[in-house]
Amino acid sequence: MPTFRYLLATTSLVASVLAAQTPIAPVVTVLHAAKLWDGTGAAPITDAVVVVTGDQITAVGPASKVSIPSGALRLDLGSATLVPGFIDAHVHLIGRPLSDPGSDLQVVKDYQSYGAILGVAHARSTLLAGFTSVRNVGAPNFDDIALRHAIDADQVAGPRMEVAGHAIGITGGHCDQNAYKPGLEDRDYRDGVADGPEEGRKAVRYQIKYGADVIKICASGGVLSEGDAVNASEYTLDEMKAIVDEARKLGRKVAAHAHGAEAIKFAVQAGVASIEHGSFLDEEGAKMMVAHGTYLVPTLSAGEFVENAAKSGRLKGFRAQKGLAAAQAMRNAIKLAVRSNIPIALGTDAAVGEHGANAREFRLMVDWGGMSATQALIAGTSNAAKLLGWQERVGTLEANKLADIVAVPGDPTSDITVTEHPVFVMKGGKIYKAPGGVQTELDRPDQHRPVSAAGVSQDF
């Protein structure tokens, strides 16, 4: 009997080892829908399929021309249109949104980890809204980097993230914490407050040391900060040049919060990759952006939100005045940008407005900016992917790209509002939202995977 037990145990062990050494074939999924828009700007194709193998797209096209592998899981999405996963190039997933009454005091009242916990919920809402990639342009305590790690490790559900760490700005400027008594919120380059070229370089190095993929600077004042004019220039041209140069040497792009016309021009001259907001853009600035290939990330959703908050009385005083002025200017700026052929990437500034309502930006691009539905869709897919430097991975539905795929009810090239109601969301070949009866990652009991022993607390 002992010999039998030994042989049984040995056989089981060998079988386990052999099974571990045998590669598991990736799951093949075939998505079928009435239409497909691939993100390149080409017209939609009808009766379309996408073949997904593992986490990648392996074939795209009309059903009559695509070979369907035997044994594939087939999912028919009926009258929907398949589109690339949407990309929001300007979000703040960490912390309270402005609509939360406690947002003004969160920096002094909330526990340090509270904002990160809220970020988990915001990431999930964003993903389920069809946004499979985001650029998070500023968060305290490197919480955005922690969230990125958790999402990449499949510990929580959310979009893939490009992150900035702390946004960098001048003492008392838009990226600083103002309106508190002296000594309560005094910050330095480690928290993103840096004055002069050398401190700016140091701040860049510090953000990158702790995992920043992109650098965010505040070139001008802002709407929601206390004490600074929204169109005031804050960093000098020399300071911005030093920051951009340091980021470039370390392989990072720079995004510049810039409302005012002068700040926009300084930032473009300094070599930033994108202007965030760009509310008071003028003709000269538009020409400079075209010449330098600088993107505009217009964040019209934030403009709409602060305008409504000011009109309702929720936003008061100087901030209400700034909100009304910026929102009105944004309507002119986006029209000028479209007319000038400035490259535009979708960004919402989610946290100013609601998380999960990101697709409303598509509608505002059409309504405020006069963009065609196709132009707006490109801004939120292939253009945004280029700005993030991810165009080889996402942004279009093509073979060998990551399987980030969304289905919307109807044709978004004729009715842009259908982007606000996705019926299917896939990220990296995993289904997170689907019609009834289809199991998603969020339905699986093992969706939250256990951490390795190296990450387990020793308290037990």
Of 351, 372, 388, the residue that ends a domain is 388
Q: Write down the pLDDT at residue 383.
A: 98
Q: What is the pLDDT of residue 374?
A: 98
Going edge to edge, which strands form the sheet with 274-277? 215-218, 254-258, 274-277, 295-297
Q: In terms of domains, do 253 and 400 share one?
A: no
Q: What is the dihedral of CA 240, 208, 300, 38, to 10 degrees?
A: 120
Per the domain annotation, does 4 fall within a domain?
Answer: no
Do 257 and 405 lie in one domain? The reply is no
Range of the domain at 371: 86-388
Residues 120 and 178 placed together within one structural domain of the fold: yes
Position 451 scores a pLDDT of 37
pLDDT of residue 445: 66
Number of independent structural domains in the chain = 2
φ, ψ (nearest 5 deg) of residue 33? -150, 165
- Helix (H) / strand (E) containing 386: helix 382-388
- Per-residue confidence (pLDDT) for residue 18, from 0 to 100: 43
CB atoms within 10 A of CB 17: 10
Instruction: Answer whether 433's CB lies under 8 Å from 443's CB.
Output: no
User: Two tokens at 352?
Assistant: 């100013």
Do 341 and 400 lie in a common domain? no
Task: Please tell me what DSSP assigns to residue 69.
Answer: P
Q: Which of 88, 144, 216, 433 is catalytic?
A: 216
Grouped pLDDT means (10 residues each) for the chain, 460 residues: 36 44 80 97 96 97 94 95 98 83 65 89 98 96 96 97 97 77 74 95 98 97 86 95 98 98 98 98 98 98 95 91 95 98 98 95 97 98 98 98 98 98 98 90 66 35
Residue 157: DSSP 8-state: -
Map 323-358 to HEC letters: HHHHHHHHHHHHHHHHHHCCCECCCCCECCECCCCC
429 and 368 in one domain?
Answer: no
- Is residue 215 situated within a structural domain? yes
274/120 Cα distance (integer angstroms):
27
- For residue 168, tell me if it sits in a domain: yes
The active-site residue, picked from 144, 191, 228, 349, is 349
In the prediction, which pLDDT does 103 show? 62
Task: Quote the pTM value.
Answer: 0.90
Residues 370 and 400 grouped into a single domain = no
Cα 96 from Cα 411, distance rounded (Å): 34
Domain boundary among 360, 388, 416: 388
**In terms of domains, do 43 and 123 share one?**
no
Whether 315 is in a domain gets the answer yes
3-state DSSP assignment of residue 284: helix
Known active-site residue 241: no
The per-residue pLDDT for 454 is 37
Q: Are strands 73-76 and 295-297 parallel, antiparallel or unpaired?
A: unpaired
Which residue is it, tokens 């253009």? 383
Q: Are residues 418 and 437 in the same domain?
A: yes
pLDDT score of 447: 53
Flag whether 362 is in a domain: yes
What pLDDT, on a 0 to 100 scale, did the predictor assign at position 24? 75
Domain shared by 277 and 213, yes or no: yes
Which CATH number belongs to the domain containing residue 407 in this structure?
Answer: 2.30.40.10
Q: Do 250 and 346 have their domain in common?
A: yes
Closest CA to 86 of 388, 358, 302, 349: 358
At 326, give phi and psi (nearest 5°).
-65, -40
Given this model, what pLDDT does residue 206 score?
98
Pairing of the two strands 405-408 and 424-427: antiparallel
- Catalytic residue status for 216: yes
Q: Which of 388, 411, 432 is the last residue of a domain?
A: 388
Let me know if residue 251 belongs to a domain: yes
- What is the crossing angle of helices 360-369 and 300-312, to 10°? 90
Assigned domain for 22 exists: no
Closest CA to 285 of 263, 254, 303, 253: 263
Contacts of 420 (CB under 8 A, 6+ apart): 357, 359, 360, 362, 363
Burial class (CB in 10 A: 0-12, 13-18, 19+), 1: exposed
User: Are residues 62 and 127 located together in one domain of the fold?
Assistant: no
CA gap 187, 192 in Å, rounded: 8
Say yes or no: 305 and 405 in one domain. no
Q: Cα–Cα distance between 372 and 377 in angstroms, integer?
A: 9
3-state SS assignment for residue 97:
coil
| CATH number of 133's domain | 3.20.20.140
The answer to the question of residue 448 being in a domain is no
